[in-house]
Amino acid sequence: MRPIKIGNRKGSEKSKIGLGRWRLVVAVVFLLSFSLVYKLYAIQISESEIYKARAADQHEVSLKLIPERGKIYFTERSTEGEKLYAAASVRDLATIYSVPKDITNPLEMAEKFYEFFDREILEQELKNKNLSDLIVATSTKEVIINNYLLRFDKPGDPYEPLNKTFEINRLLDLYVYLVNSDYFENGEIRRGSLRDLVSKDISKEDLEFRNEKIYLTIKELDESSGEEKEIKKSLDIPGLGFTFSKYRYYPENEVASQILGYVGYSNGESNGHYGLEEFFDKELFGQYGNLKSEKGASANLIIVNDREYTAPQGGSDLVLTIDRNIEFFACEKLKETVARFEATGGSVIVVEPKTGAILAMCSEPNFNPNDYQNVKDLSYFNNPTILYQYEPGSVFKVITMAAAINEGKVNPATLYEDKGEIMISGWNKPIRNSDFSTKGAHGLVDMNYVLDNSLNTGAIFAMRQTGDDVFAKYVQDFGFGERSGLELGAESPGNINNLLKNRIKEIDAATASFGQGIAVTPLQMVMSYQAIANKGVLMKPYVVKKIINNGVEEIINPKKVREVISPETAATVSAMLVNIVEKGHSKRAKIEGYYLGGKTGTAQIATVGGYKKDEWLHTFIGVAPIDDPAFVMLVKIDSPKGVQYAEGSTVPLWRDIAEFILRYYQIPKTRK
């Protein structure tokens, strides 16, 4: 009998394999389930904050809200009290942009831009100048005509708009137009050119966007009346759009530009540069605000009520001591004088002697802060009245005389023998009076005569009566060799190092007594006369009289620096200044009905190893009226042509401005 087979070995083996596979699947499923549970645990519990942050990044948007920059105001006197006029404000300006893929007719776009913006300007340029003289070839297809980039294409060439962009302030991001002109290259005439250049300010009032069209306010000649009138005209160009942003705007253009500085824009940020804009940048800017919101599926913002919102805080406003009328008149007169004498530059500073408030301050050349990016010479941004040092010349003799009188060493009647020249120990040639070649020795003269005739030897005599060290101390006390702290930044301390040594050389003290061998700024020079006009008290100069933050006013009060000379000495020196105007080199400063005082200075221009020949710096500083001074004013002209002495250049300029201020302040005449 055969044994009974309980199972098939091969089948059993297959069952074992199937069971193993099933167990593997169960294990994999278990591991995956465990991983999923662990991941859910990690996402929802242990790492929940991380994933919340990632989700917020995808759905929440945090917007930085830019505050409105504070304004800067000029002041103006009136019968109704003090008025304020914006020197720097904020304006909504448009950035016009193009979408190249949507521009269906580039040539039409270029022609319309040309018609809207610069047809008259460019036609006049091409009419008045020889075109060939203006052309600089940069490639076979591009030339520069009068600093305009023009592109020439061969007939039949596919037109490609230039996509070059310029980082600019308040101007169009893309500005192209067609210029009809002929250009010869290899005997072939190219017609039609494209200019890609940023150009115009477009204000919110002049630009509108209606029915997907851009409208500009332009001036057009009314043929019936012959007068210009403003009309709204549509560019009607597919592919153009615009956005509004707030930008810094300077209504008076160049006026007080070196006091104000400018605001520059880069990568969406704005920063003040130079002048008040830089010095008070933080206060003027204000504080950013913040808005948190959520994005919907279409990327639109969804404002959520319980989200964080912090309003931006606008910047503080600055109210200046600068009088708008005086500033404008003084700067215009300075500009005229610099042009008349073909001078390299010039400056005017007007100070209120009792307080140190700056009423006017300007220099030539200057710049337009609305167009700062096109300034060719970066030195125009600097304020020469506080930054540039120069040897002052004879205006410094008044300081020397004040020191000697205050020490009781001389008085206006003190006599000395003038021989026209003097030898100084350690120096190999005599120091002479400026008029030595024509007048020689003046003989026995007093201190009034010294200032009236601006004698170098007389200044040395007065300095020697006080002694080198005492004289040097007075020079420091008058504010020379140190920064005044005026709120404009970038101020030079001057250079009186020759007088700060333990042992002062005789030649250094001698030349310093008549304004050579030391360097001062125009501001230091005018403030030294301010101290004399203010009964001997030196004040700190300032240009900001009030800071307004959210309606709260911070008044900047005048600040006394020190008493330099006694009131009696100040009165004596003031009388000597009147004598100079009455009898000396400053007679052209006289104004009918007033007693005025002042002193000229014709200084050599220092250079390496000596002084320039036939170039001079002319200065005049005057006080008006002398009995109750309302202002002290310095005028300075650099390297004027056709006039050798200051009485021919700066004195008439000073008189014109002073006469205006006296009338403007309605100061009664006291002289018959």
The string of pLDDT tens digits covering residues 343-365 is: 999 999 999 999 999 999 999 99
How far apart CA 604 and CA 602 sit, in angstroms, is: 7
Which of the given ranges, 49-63, 155-169, 183-197, has the highest pLDDT on average? 49-63
pLDDT of residue 600: 94
pLDDT of residue 140: 36
pLDDT of residue 139: 37
Beta bridge partners of 411: none
pLDDT of residue 58: 54
* Rounded mean pLDDT, 272-287: 94
Tell me which of 172 and 523 has the higher pLDDT.
Answer: 523
Per-residue confidence band for 656, with pLDDT thresholds at 50, 70 and 90? very high
Residue 342 clears pLDDT 80, i.e. is over it: yes
Per-residue confidence band for 170, with pLDDT thresholds at 50, 70 and 90? very low
Active site residue 225: no
pLDDT of residue 156: 34
pLDDT of residue 570: 97
Tell me which of 217 and 236 has the higher pLDDT.
Answer: 236
Q: In the chain, what percentage of residues exceed pLDDT 90?
A: 52
Residue 400 clears pLDDT 80, i.e. is over it: yes
Tell me which of 150 and 228 has the higher pLDDT.
Answer: 228
Tell me which of 610 and 616 has the higher pLDDT.
Answer: 616
Catalytic residue among 347, 394, 484, 574: 394
How far apart CA 580 and CA 559 sit, in angstroms, is: 31
Q: In the chain, what percentage of residues exceed pLDDT 70?
A: 69
Residue 283 clears pLDDT 90, i.e. is over it: yes
- pLDDT tens for each residue of 379-395: 999 999 999 999 999 99
Per-residue confidence band for 221, with pLDDT thresholds at 50, 70 and 90? low
How far apart CA 596 and CA 580 sit, in angstroms, is: 9
Beta-sheet pairing, 415-418 with 421-422: unpaired
Lowest pLDDT segment from 223-237, 280-294, 305-319: 223-237
Residue/partner pairs of 429-434 with CB below 8 Å, 24 or more apart: 431/456, 431/457, 431/460, 431/510, 431/511, 432/456, 432/457, 433/457, 434/394, 434/602
Residue 85 clears pLDDT 60, i.e. is over it: yes
Which of the given ranges, 123-132, 311-320, 341-350, 428-437, has the highest pLDDT on average? 341-350
pLDDT of residue 613: 82
Residue 116 clears pLDDT 80, i.e. is over it: no
Total Cβ atoms within 10 A of residue 354: 16
Contact assessment for residue 558 and residue 352, using Cβ atoms and an 8 Å cutoff? no
Tell me which of 529 and 33 has the higher pLDDT.
Answer: 529
b/e per residue 76-93 (b: at least 16 CB within 10 A): beeeeeeeeebbbbbbeb
Lowest pLDDT segment from 222-226, 497-501, 534-538: 222-226
Which of the given ranges, 104-113, 338-347, 607-616, has the highest pLDDT on average? 338-347
Domains of the chain: 61-73+250-321 (3.90.1310.10), 91-246 (no CATH), 322-664 (3.40.710.10)
Closest CA to 637 of 336, 260, 353: 336
pLDDT of residue 22: 74
Residue 108 CA to its chain's centroid (Å): 40
Q: Distance between the two ends of the chain, CA-based, in angstroms?
A: 166
* Rounded mean pLDDT, 479-491: 93
How far apart CA 546 and CA 535 sit, in angstroms, is: 26
pLDDT of residue 270: 87
Tell me which of 457 and 241 has the higher pLDDT.
Answer: 457
pLDDT of residue 237: 63
Does residue 80 sit in helix, strand or coil? coil
Tell me which of 556 and 51 has the higher pLDDT.
Answer: 556
pLDDT of residue 568: 97
- pTM summary value: 0.75
Per-residue confidence band for 612, with pLDDT thresholds at 50, 70 and 90? confident
Quickly list H helices, 390-453.
Answer: 397-406, 436-439, 447-453
Residue 634 clears pLDDT 80, i.e. is over it: yes
* Rounded mean pLDDT, 645-667: 94
pLDDT of residue 489: 83
pLDDT of residue 6: 45
Per-residue confidence band for 267, with pLDDT thresholds at 50, 70 and 90? confident
* Rounded mean pLDDT, 615-644: 95
- pLDDT tens for each residue of 559-605: 999 999 999 999 999 999 999 999 888 889 999 999 999 999 998 88
pLDDT of residue 137: 37
- pLDDT tens for each residue of 429-480: 999 998 898 899 999 999 999 999 999 999 999 999 999 999 999 999 999 9
Indicate the average pLDDT of the chain: 79
Side chain identity, residue 559: K
pLDDT of residue 94: 60
pLDDT of residue 65: 79
Lowest pLDDT segment from 174-188, 246-260, 346-360: 174-188
pLDDT of residue 662: 96
* Rounded mean pLDDT, 496-515: 94
